[in-house]
Amino acid sequence: MKRTNEFEVVPKSDADEELLRRLLDASAALWNEINYQRRTNFEDPDGDVWEIDEYRGRYGGTLGASTVQQIERKNREAWRSFFALREKGEANSKPGFWGNQDEGRDLRTYIRNTSYSVKWGEYSRLEILVGQDLKKEYGLGYRERLRLEVRGEPNWNEYDKQGRLELYYDDVSETFRAFQPVTISNSRLAQPLADETAALDIGANNIVACTTTTGEQYLYDGRDLFKRFRETTQRIAELQSKLEDGRYSSKQIESLYRRRTRRRNHAMDALVRDLIERLYDEGVSTVYVGDLTDILETHWSVRTNAKLHNFWTFRRFVGRLADTAEEFGITVEVRTEAWTSQTCPNCGSTEDTTRHQDTLTCHCGFEGHADLAASETFLRRHETVARPMARPVCLKWDSHDWLESPRSPRPNEEHTNPQVASVVVRDDFVVS
């Protein structure tokens, strides 16, 4: 199983930072040179894109021979996939440059798996190879590597193999970041604790509503997240309207797009992990997910759908869900089903129910959160579900973690139906 650790890297002194920047900048300069040569060869009827100069002599002293080779290989891969797509007749463009000298190069490099090491622990650190010239200039020993501090918990600190490290400077967060691909053998994976099942209902107000056969319910509130996403989208539209004729984008717009995506992905990935860990603890071995497309088409306007699709990237979400579930030995199954939000999870009626905002009520006395009810109905189609349900756990995103909200719907003790929850009904959420 292949996974990626992503973490922040911090130089320990100004000199180390300068060294690191020079390393990344020289990598970009090398990439650009190789790429320029390949583009030139590509335009030349007699040229061969695979035939390029030997760059080790000029860049080896700064980058080290193995990094020169990695950049060259990475560029070759980019051209290969360009040709592969071209063969298939798919639209795509020639591999691009990593910035330029005038506006600044993209600070990035790739380091071979044997040319770096990460030590995980209380003070995690990364050591990377640099060229002999840089070592001499910055007073590093002949065999010494540049030592950097690592921030953040990796998802995987035990693995069987590490792959090529990607190291780059992120100008949005103004931090150095690293991607470390790792290979994990199945023996390191967890096994489900029991054979329980969970079903997920996916939406916009609440990103995920989940019910388990053990009678647990989880609700992940997406309002704030979706609101921020829309605000950034609006800001991008404003900037686009101010662009000069003939221009489609700017550095600022690109950076806002990246920030928007990163923020969304960060929250979604954290959601998936939080959920899967909870489900694992409940002994869940199978998770059913409804196909979002169905839901969207039935329930919201075209305009809303477009925005929601943009926000949702359902395929990415399900992919991440399946990946994370795999670590715990849990299976994810996507099911295309009829919309279930109007079905009463208590008596199964679809005619006697009324949905108002987030609340579903039924003649049989059921009153509950509509999305949770939908996930429960969805689950009941596959499994027998415990009743009464426990009090739902409601989670809110605080930019770092999904925290249990103190405003979780509480069971109404006076009511005869134990499922009944006094749900906060809000009018402030308008999707479009």
* Residues engaged in binding Zn ion (CB under 5 A): 344, 346-347, 349, 362, 364, 366
Orientation angle between helical segments 302-312 and 223-241, nearest 10 degrees: 100
Residue closer to Zn ion by CB (options 148, 420) is: 420
Residue closer to Zn ion by CB (options 26, 420) is: 420
Minimum CB–partner distance for residue 342 and Zn ion (Å): 11
Residue closer to Zn ion by CB (options 78, 364) is: 364
Minimum CB–partner distance for residue 350 and Zn ion (Å): 9
CB 280 within 8 A of CB 218: no
Residue closer to Zn ion by CB (options 326, 367) is: 367
Residue closer to Zn ion by CB (options 159, 366) is: 366
Q: Phi/psi at 173 (nearest 5 deg)?
A: -90, -5
Minimum CB–partner distance for residue 354 and Zn ion (Å): 11
Structure tokens of 371?
């999305």
CA atoms within 13 A on the CB side of 89: 0
Number of C-beta neighbours around residue 97 at 10 A: 15
Q: In angstroms, how far is the first alpha carbon of the chain from the final one?
A: 40
Structure tokens of 23?
């390393």
Which run of H or E residues covers position 168?
A: strand 165-170
CB 196 within 8 A of CB 364: no
C-alpha to C-alpha distance for 111 and 68, rounded to whole angstroms = 9
Minimum CB–partner distance for residue 351 and Zn ion (Å): 10
Residue closer to Zn ion by CB (options 292, 360) is: 360
Minimum CB–partner distance for residue 383 and Zn ion (Å): 19
Minimum CB–partner distance for residue 370 and Zn ion (Å): 13
CB 151 within 8 A of CB 12: no
Structure tokens of 417?
């139906």
